[in-house]
Amino acid sequence: KLSSSSASSTGFSSSWEESEEDISSDPERTLDQAPAFLQTLDQQKPRVSKSWRKIKNMVHWSPFVMSFKKKYPWIQLAGHAGSFKAAANGRILKKHCESEQRCLDRLMNDVLKPYVPAYHGDVVKDGERYNQMEDLLAEFDSPCVMDCKMGVRTYLEEELIKARKKPSLRKDMYQKMIEVDPDAPTEEENVLRAVTKPRYMQWRETISSTATLGFRIEGIKKEDGTVNRDFKKTRTKDQVMEAFREFTRGNRNVLNSYLNRLKGIRATLETSPFFKCHEVM
């Protein structure tokens, strides 16, 4: 999520009100964590893979034909269902957001351009307006995808303050909480069968690796179509490394490419005018 510190623009993900899961974490973590983590991971030997659960009934499948006549299943690992649509010519459509459009426009003229999907303006389809972006998977036959949410916190401070000023009890978030950990709610929350959004957000991030490693895994899709989203309690370094080993099959070349890419991103962020004037979530 990208947001101007003056609240003039927000980023690529959904807004606070749309966000399903948000919260606090350790602000003292730095960008060094990811490279260090991958260096450690690269030195580990692959472990025996665990079985993967097929949960295709939870996946949004929408096969479509690309401009080069290739057909592949559309899979959304994370985020809000219905926010995206397939498009022709190796592009995807995301529901239009003015602030997101401003960010995309600015990024197309920033040194970060090579690290973000190409933006092709907005378009109206079926009476609804969309931002049109590059589909990074368009040229892959059977892509493997890992969705990671980066950052030591995944919410804006001003958003948390607003939620605390006008707290409202959320039964849906209480339900999500007990599905992951039945012992997480307090006695009062169990009586009310509801929690406030700030409470849920802070709990959600402390049980994942967001607070400990500065990022968390949201979901993984393998080349055979199997999907795993059971990472809500993947918190420790060993647990995350095991997930990366499973995903890459212990391939050192792949791991090194991740590390080099992260180093390139960090070096570019240090010179990016866009990065200097935006709060990046």
Closest CA to 246 of 78, 56, 50: 50
Q: pLDDT confidence of 68, banded at 50, 70, 90?
A: very low
Q: What is the mean pLDDT of residues 18-23?
A: 40
Give the pLDDT score at 160.
78
Residue 49 has pLDDT above 70, yes or no: no
Backbone φ, ψ for residue 133 (5° rounding): -130, 165
Domains and CATH numbers, the chain: 2-280 (3.30.470.160)
**One-letter amino acid for residue 99 of the chain:** S
Which residue type occupies 248? T
Cα angle vertex 106, ends 104, 112, to 5°? 85
Main-chain dihedrals φ then ψ at residue 215, nearest 5 degrees: -165, 165
Whether 7 has a pLDDT exceeding 80, the answer reads no
pLDDT at position 40 is: 56
Q: What is the mean pLDDT of residues 241-268?
A: 95
Q: Which of the residue ranges 17-26, 58-67, 266-275 has the most confident prediction, judged by mean pLDDT?
A: 266-275
Q: If you average pLDDT over residues 147-176, what whole number do you get?
A: 85
Helix axes 237-248, 252-269, angle to 10 degrees: 120
Mean pLDDT of 206-228: 91
Q: Give residue-wise pLDDT tens across range 173-194.
A: 999 999 999 999 999 999 999 9
